[in-house]
């Protein structure tokens, strides 16, 4: 169960980034206040609809995960088969969510991310469905963020994630370390995958929130968000919403 918790937790990091991409869309300037209000209202309704659909899909994914766990608990399927099915569920739902939100595909680390000492993994293939970005230079977005997803050999992914995290000075995530300790305490099968993070999700942000994760399948994800730019953009939008 702890291993499955980590799988969903790792997926959750990417999901949070997807939500930020959806929420970060800001409507372009209009010719007058009436047009501006109408456009903003339509954009807001569309955004809420997209987020609602996304949350429905996450709920549906969790239900599928629960079914697999129940079969495992009843002895209807082996641990190995349960893990296979859980990874397939994550891949199916995760890819669908990514495609729905991928308005600006990313092909590499932008220059501003390189200045954070981040590098890309060697010997792995970029997944275009998941990889996306926003730009502070785009008035419809207003802040820099990038999500790069790579697929390849598991052992290579673990090695490259450790190298990237070491160069950028990104520590292991607290949740991951707690899961590893629990695994050791209860003498369960070692956890696969890893999560490096310089922030504590929903508790403490940095100037740039950076995460480098690897899941059981060997999918390596690099996520970076310019938190200050994002907050400034949301604050600029807030007064317009109140009028």
Question: How far apart, in whole angstroms, are the C-alpha atoms of residue 95 and residue 38?
Answer: 32
* Higher-confidence position of 22 and 154: 154
Read out DSSP for 63-105?
HHHHHHHHHHHTTSS-HHHHHHHHHHHHHHHHHHHHHHH-SSB
Model-level pTM?
0.68
pLDDT category at 236 given cuts 50, 70, 90 is confident
Question: How far apart, in whole angstroms, are the C-alpha atoms of residue 8 and residue 194?
Answer: 12
Cβ-contact 229, 209 below 8 angstroms: no
pLDDT digits over 34-62, tens only? 554 555 445 544 444 554 566 777 788 88
Start-to-end CA span in the chain (Å): 48
CB-CB neighbours of 146 under 10 Å? 23
Sign of the dihedral through C-alpha 53, 59, 65, 71: negative
Element (H, E) at 212: strand 208-214
pLDDT digits over 63-120, tens only? 888 999 999 999 999 988 888 888 888 778 877 777 766 668 899 999 999 999 999 9
């Amino acid at each position: 169960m702890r291993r499955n918790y980590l799988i969903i937790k790792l997926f959750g990091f990417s999901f949070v980034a997807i939500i930020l991409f959806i929420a970060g869309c800001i409507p372009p300037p209009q010719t007058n206040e009436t047009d501006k209000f109408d456009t903003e209202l339509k954009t807001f309704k569309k955004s809420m609809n997209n987020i609602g659909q996304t949350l429905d899909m996450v709920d549906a994914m969790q239900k599928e995960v629960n079914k697999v766990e129940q079969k495992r608990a009843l002895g209807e399927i082996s641990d190995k088969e349960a893990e296979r099915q859980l990874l397939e569920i994550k891949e199916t739902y995760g890819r669908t969510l990514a495609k729905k939100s991928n308005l600006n595909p990313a092909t590499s680390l932008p220059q501003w991310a390189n200045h954070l000492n981040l590098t890309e993994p060697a010997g792995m293939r970029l997944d275009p469905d998941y990889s996306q970005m926003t730009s502070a230079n785009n008035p419809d977005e207003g802040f820099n963020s990038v999500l790069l997803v790579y697929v390849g050999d598991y052992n290579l992914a673990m090695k490259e994630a450790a190298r990237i995290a070491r160069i950028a000075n990104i520590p292991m995530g607290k949740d991951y370390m707690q899961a590893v300790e629990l695994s050791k305490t209860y003498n369960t099968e070692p956890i696969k995958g890893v999560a490096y993070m310089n922030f504590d999700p929903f508790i403490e942000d940095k100037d740039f929130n950076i995460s480098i994760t690897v899941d059981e399948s060997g999918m390596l994800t690099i996520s970076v968000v310019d938190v200050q730019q994002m907050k400034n953009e949301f604050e600029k939008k807030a007064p317009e919403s109140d009028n």
